[in-house]
Chains A and B, each alone.
Chain A
Amino acid sequence: MTQMFRMASGGIVDRSRTIGFRFDGRAYQGHPGDTLASALLANGVRLVGRSFKLHRPRGIFAAGAEEPNALAELRTGARREPNTRMTQIELYDGLEAASQNRWPSLRWDLLSLNGLIAPLLSAGFYYKTFMWPASFWEKVYEPLIRRSAGLGRASREADPDRYDTMQAHCDVLVIGGGVAGLAAALVAGASGVRVMLCEQDFVLGAGLIGEDEAWRSAALERLAGMANVTLLARTNVFGAYDANVVGALERVADHVAEPGAFVPRQRYWTIRAGRVVHATGAYERFIAFPDNDRPGVMLAGAAATYVARYGVHPGRRALLFANNDAAYQSLFTMQDAGVTVAGVVDPRADSAAQAAARARGITVWSASQVVGTAGSLALSGARVARIGSAGTDTLVAADVLCVSGGINPAVQLATQSRTAVAWSERLASWVPGAALLPQFSAGAANGVTGLREAAADGARAGAGASGAPADALGLPEDRPSDVTVLPFWEVKGSGKAFVDIQDDVTADDIRLAAREGYKHIEHAKRYTTHTMGTDQGKSGGLVGAAVLAEARGERVQDVGMPTFRPFTSPVTWGAIAGTSIGKHFAPTRLSPLHEWHVKRGAVFMDAGQWVRPAYYPAPVDGDGWDSVLREARAARRGVAVCDVSTLGKIDVQGRDAAVFLDRLYTNTFSNLPVGRARYGLMLREDGIVFDDGTTSRLAEDHFFVTTTTANAGPVMQHMEFYLQTVWPDLDVTLASVTDQWAAMSIAGPKARATIERIIEGLDVSNEAFGFMAVADATVKGCPVRVFRISFSGELAYEIATPAGHAQTVWNAVLEAGEAFKIEPYGVEALGLLRIEKGHVTGAELNGQTTAADVGLEKMFKKRGDFVGKVLSQRPGLTDPSRPRLVGVRPVMRGDQLRAGMHLVESGTTHSLGWMTAVTRAVELEGWIGLAMLRDGVARIGSRMQAASPLHGALVDVEIVSPHFVDPENARVRV
């Protein structure tokens, strides 16, 4: 017979429909409206998991987000998600879930033997037990711990579902859709402002079920009719950040077997709210007593929820252990629904609820406590004793023990946004105090309980947040309920009294931590792992704090509480990654010639966000090096063309443009004639080289600055910083034109012969258009700007054209160069050419080098201020023994050099420098490289060794000038 514990009526499950699900492979039935937890209880399943460390049997403890025990692996295969709370999993047809942390099975868990070695697994056991010998850690201890302690298993397959994001804004955000939240949203919504309400449950106003259902349905209907109100169920606000920005996770499709086409499984909301109403409710807390973790021990409010909301008896015979009158209502709800009541155990001598219970024929053990529980895999009874009596106790038969130690207002989100907290003597708990931000706490979250009072408090908060009047709202009916407690935290006795049921932390562990000096609440937390589980100590955090307080001889309120941080409940990595996965992790930047490179069969490489051709394999090439060498030879001996569109380009205009550049660069631009280009070097204010590039003067008040590919953005920001904050009086405008202009470098002895054929309206002869000349022209009717500049050390021209014309101009160049066997060359050949020439780039200008380090000290102007000038002269930066740029060649020409090799004196291991870049050369035999070497200039001509211990490589090398090719720089001027 299925669903033996399901009541014939009651609750909001849909009994007209039966849905099937599987738990640990067994088939069960439930109804729409169930959670996995309620459906398991309906089927009499009491044992649902094993504990984290000790593998003790555990049952369903709560009915919501505070659940410490009932964690499941939900779904199977690639969609398997570990550590989901059965109390929040909405049942759907075909749901499959499995219990966690048991081996080989839930009922026969061999690792429960851990309980026998429990003394070894006390607080801080990681630090103590496994310290020595160190070699045991990896091979013995860690695998052992990983098998025996832990939570569920994540799938190792790629997640097939999509996760999305949403950016939202509202005037009033109501967090929590209980009675207070609904009241706040009703009042704020009626005022016309934009309201959002987030509720983690799939049902709004769940607390009104079985109470004032009419008020609930009327409220939901009114809210649904308000166009300015957005209701988000299944949406947990997991974090409150600065300025009323909160993060929330909407479980869009977790309640169906598979999300529909194009529907995300979960959506990560970032909500910016003008005002926030915290209507997050309260969590019931338990009492620590020996064996308080046995399956069948359950929070009192949760037990009542299973009855009232799901129509499920959590057990046949219920016993209540409580220190407050409100918890008696839970028992009365169960009694009214046909659960046999075994009695009440109450540490208080007397109360109104005790009298009411006796009037109902319920046995009340007043001034008493539960000193232990009986049963193995399920509760069979509790041992009850009068407080202060020694040795004598009574075993009371019960299969469900309802526990209530009072309530803790859910102040987590409020305190994350720096709302102060205050101690409530009435609740023996923290309640919200003054808010830093425009925020309001309402209802149980504000320490105000009872449906009617909570609704009124919600209405007040909604009014405060929206400026609307609160008094028009009708309030729900409720029953008397008094949450005043006798502070009562722990029953001492033999047996484990847990203060954190998920993490297997006992009251004794807290005392041990205190004895060992971890007395601060934050230290005790980390030493014992108290409140560090997925439930974040919602039901036991304060209990542990109270045990710590007693150990310290102080009051609970003087111990304080650990800082609450996001996330209040676990959020999947899928949701955090959202759509930023795969190629959408970061945007890709493509040259306007990219399609041509693809068609040509280029091998690509990433350069920051750019995707650039590394080289272009040809059928004759044996490997990549063949391609690179072939391309570089073409540039040295014939002609080759490279797509350099990625270079940063900045348009600088204004009356003071030249002065501005003089102050930013180490060299002078104010004396640069119109129609000429000049290489420039830029420092940071601390004297370190920042960037380099060529700047052209297009008109008296108009410059065209180029930057390295990598630094285009940072240089623009650097310029804007100085222009806006340091020299705001200068008449200068800046515009990034990197994307406007495609650029290609035509290099080689045949470069002029090539472009002569296509350049229209410009004489590019050496006489008319000498080295570093700049002029406008056309190619095939397309506007171009021609620069006679060279990065390769060869005769070279750079042709820039508006990006839309790039393909036309590029094709024209290739066609014109055909006679000279022109080759396109990629980034690898570009690197080869520059290393041969001794030009520095990012590998040398790495944020640690000065101009002198890379041999560019002559670029400092004699007069006038420029950024970095003063600090570049500091002794540490002018020390002549600093590592300096040199060239390196293997003595045996066939030896390979590697980037990152260290340079050492032969026979020693003390590093005197390092290789920054290496390549096989075309102008020389074998490998060459650039290096930064201590006393580098003095060592030119000497022999050293280059070592890469990682590769087991040691190569005899000679130190040479970094300019391997054409040190006189004659080729560029022919």
Chain B
Amino acid sequence: MIRIDCPSCGGRDEVEFAYRGDATVVRPAGDAGEEAFHDFVYRRANPRGWHVEWWYHQAGCRQFLKVVRHTMTHEVHAVARAGDRVEVPAAEHTGVPAAEHKGVPAA
């Protein structure tokens, strides 16, 4: 069970949140075409390492939070409000050997 430090509510259990996937993809403009929307809906990096993702604080402040989570260790590095930028750490900030990391760009 991961703990998420909600910027408004403080540290809360995973059960209060609903996962909503990759927070780095951006909805294309309405006229961007099928390819762009296909990528937006389906194409995911699935990294082994740090991942920026949406977690919806359903049982709390009902805000979509940007969470930087490590997909191997479940460490949570940072939590930000939807509109804020988050920093994605370098690989060595975790107990997993650096070779196992593939970082993802910051949202």
Inter-chain contact A720/B27, CB cutoff 8 Å: no
Inter-chain contact B76/A243, CB cutoff 8 Å: yes
Nearest chain A CB to B10's CB is how many angstroms away? 11
Inter-chain contact B30/A721, CB cutoff 8 Å: no
B46 at interface (Cβ–Cβ under 8 A)? no
A676 at interface (Cβ–Cβ under 8 A)? no
How far is it, in angstroms, between the C-alpha of A873 and the C-alpha of B13 when the chains are bound? 40
B106 at interface (Cβ–Cβ under 8 A)? no
Given contacts A420-B95, A725-B54, contact A720 B73 (CB under 8 A): no
Which chain B residues border A864 with CB–CB below 8 Å?
Answer: 30
Which of A242, A720, A865 is within 8 Å of B62, CB to CB?
Answer: A720
Nearest chain B CB to A718's CB is how many angstroms away? 10
Q: Which of A251-271 contact B (CB under 8 A)?
A: 270
Which chain A residues border B76 with CB–CB below 8 Å?
Answer: 243
Which chain B residues border A243 with CB–CB below 8 Å?
Answer: 1-3, 74-76
How far is it, in angstroms, between the C-alpha of A725 and the C-alpha of B73 when the chains are bound? 27
CB-based A-B contact count at 8 angstroms:
71
Which chain B residues border A603 with CB–CB below 8 Å?
Answer: none
A518 at interface (Cβ–Cβ under 8 A)? no
Chain B residue at minimal CB-CB distance from A245: B1
Which chain A residues border B64 with CB–CB below 8 Å?
Answer: 720-721, 724-725
B105 at interface (Cβ–Cβ under 8 A)? no
Which chain A residues border B95 with CB–CB below 8 Å?
Answer: 418, 420, 434-436
Which of A270, A720, A871 is within 8 Å of B37, CB to CB?
Answer: A871
Inter-chain contact A724/B82, CB cutoff 8 Å: yes
How far is it, in angstroms, between the C-alpha of A418 and the C-alpha of B30 when the chains are bound? 45
Which chain A residues border B3 with CB–CB below 8 Å?
Answer: 242-243, 245, 272
Chain B residue at minimal CB-CB distance from A242: B74
Which chain A residues border B74 with CB–CB below 8 Å?
Answer: 242-243
A869 at interface (Cβ–Cβ under 8 A)? yes
Inter-chain contact A685/B30, CB cutoff 8 Å: no
Inter-chain contact A685/B37, CB cutoff 8 Å: yes
A728 at interface (Cβ–Cβ under 8 A)? yes
How many chain A residues sit at the interface, stated as a range, is: 20 to 34
Which chain B residues border A685 with CB–CB below 8 Å?
Answer: 27, 37, 40-41
Inter-chain contact A717/B18, CB cutoff 8 Å: yes
Which chain B residues border A728 with CB–CB below 8 Å?
Answer: 82-83
Q: Which of B37-92 contact A (CB under 8 A)?
A: 37-38, 40-41, 54, 56, 58, 62-64, 73-76, 82-83
Given contacts A243-B76, A434-B95, A685-B40, contact A870 B27 (CB under 8 A): no
B34 at interface (Cβ–Cβ under 8 A)? yes
Inter-chain contact B18/A870, CB cutoff 8 Å: no
How far is it, in angstroms, between the C-alpha of A686 and the C-alpha of B13 when the chains are bound? 31
Which chain A residues border B102 with CB–CB below 8 Å?
Answer: none
Inter-chain contact B34/A720, CB cutoff 8 Å: no
Which of B2, B58, B75 is within 8 Å of A717, CB to CB?
Answer: B58
Which chain A residues border B83 with CB–CB below 8 Å?
Answer: 728
How far is it, in angstroms, between the C-alpha of A873 and the C-alpha of B30 when the chains are bound? 13
Chain A residue at minimal CB-CB distance from B42: A686
Which chain B residues border A720 with CB–CB below 8 Å?
Answer: 56, 62, 64
Inter-chain contact B30/A874, CB cutoff 8 Å: no
How far is it, in angstroms, between the C-alpha of A873 and the C-alpha of B40 when the chains are bound? 15
Inter-chain contact A870/B34, CB cutoff 8 Å: yes
Inter-chain contact A725/B82, CB cutoff 8 Å: yes
How far is it, in angstroms, between the C-alpha of A726 and the C-alpha of B98 when the chains are bound? 34
How far is it, in angstroms, between the C-alpha of A874 and the C-alpha of B37 when the chains are bound? 11
Which chain B residues border A215 with CB–CB below 8 Å?
Answer: none
How far is it, in angstroms, between the C-alpha of A139 and the C-alpha of B37 when the chains are bound? 55
Q: Which of B11-47 contact A (CB under 8 A)?
A: 11, 13, 18, 20, 23, 27, 29-34, 37-38, 40-41
Nearest chain A CB to B17's CB is how many angstroms away? 11
Which chain A residues border B18 with CB–CB below 8 Å?
Answer: 717
Inter-chain contact A242/B37, CB cutoff 8 Å: no
A625 at interface (Cβ–Cβ under 8 A)? no
Nearest chain B CB to A258's CB is how many angstroms away? 33
Which chain A residues border B41 with CB–CB below 8 Å?
Answer: 685-686, 871
Q: Report A701-732 CB contacts with B as 1/0, cut-off 8 Å.
A: 00000000000000001001100111010000
How far is it, in angstroms, between the C-alpha of A725 and the C-alpha of B18 when the chains are bound? 15
Which of B11, B33, B94 is within 8 Å of A870, CB to CB?
Answer: B33
Which of A434, A436, A686, A866 is within 8 Å of B73, CB to CB?
Answer: A436
Residue from B3, B29, B37, B83 with most neighbouring chain A CB atoms (10 Å): B37
A241 at interface (Cβ–Cβ under 8 A)? yes
Which chain A residues border B38 with CB–CB below 8 Å?
Answer: 871
Chain B residue at minimal CB-CB distance from A734: B62
Which chain A residues border B23 with CB–CB below 8 Å?
Answer: 725
Inter-chain contact B30/A870, CB cutoff 8 Å: yes
Which of B2, B27, B82 is within 8 Å of A242, CB to CB?
Answer: B2
Q: Which of A658-674 contact B (CB under 8 A)?
A: none
How far is it, in angstroms, between the C-alpha of A436 and the C-alpha of B93 when the chains are bound? 10
Q: Which of A429-455 contact B (CB under 8 A)?
A: 434-436
Inter-chain contact B2/A873, CB cutoff 8 Å: no
Nearest chain A CB to B20's CB is how many angstroms away? 6
How far is it, in angstroms, between the C-alpha of A717 and the C-alpha of B63 when the chains are bound? 10
How far is it, in angstroms, between the C-alpha of A435 and the C-alpha of B75 when the chains are bound? 13
Chain B residue at minimal CB-CB distance from A863: B30
Inter-chain contact B30/A865, CB cutoff 8 Å: yes
How far is it, in angstroms, between the C-alpha of A866 and the C-alpha of B31 when the chains are bound? 11
Q: Which of A849-883 contact B (CB under 8 A)?
A: 864-866, 869-871, 873-874
Which chain A residues border B94 with CB–CB below 8 Å?
Answer: 436
18 further A-B pairs in the complex, CB-CB below 8 A; given A241-B1, A685-B40, A871-B41: A243-B1, A243-B76, A270-B1, A272-B13, A418-B95, A434-B95, A717-B56, A720-B64, A721-B54, A721-B56, A724-B63, A724-B64, A725-B54, A725-B82, A728-B82, A870-B33, A870-B34, A871-B38
B positions within 8 Å CB-CB of A: 1-3, 11, 13, 18, 20, 23, 27, 29-34, 37-38, 40-41, 54, 56, 58, 62-64, 73-76, 82-83, 94-95
List 30 contacting pairs A-B, 8 Å CB cutoff, sorted by A.
Answer: A242-B2, A242-B3, A242-B73, A243-B1, A245-B1, A245-B3, A270-B1, A272-B11, A272-B13, A418-B73, A420-B95, A436-B95, A685-B37, A685-B41, A720-B64, A721-B56, A724-B64, A724-B82, A725-B54, A725-B64, A725-B82, A726-B27, A728-B82, A864-B30, A865-B29, A869-B30, A871-B34, A871-B38, A871-B41, A873-B34
- Sorted nearest first, the 9 A-B pairs with minimum C-beta distance are A865-B30, A436-B95, A242-B74, A243-B3, A870-B37, A724-B64, A724-B82, A242-B2, A241-B1
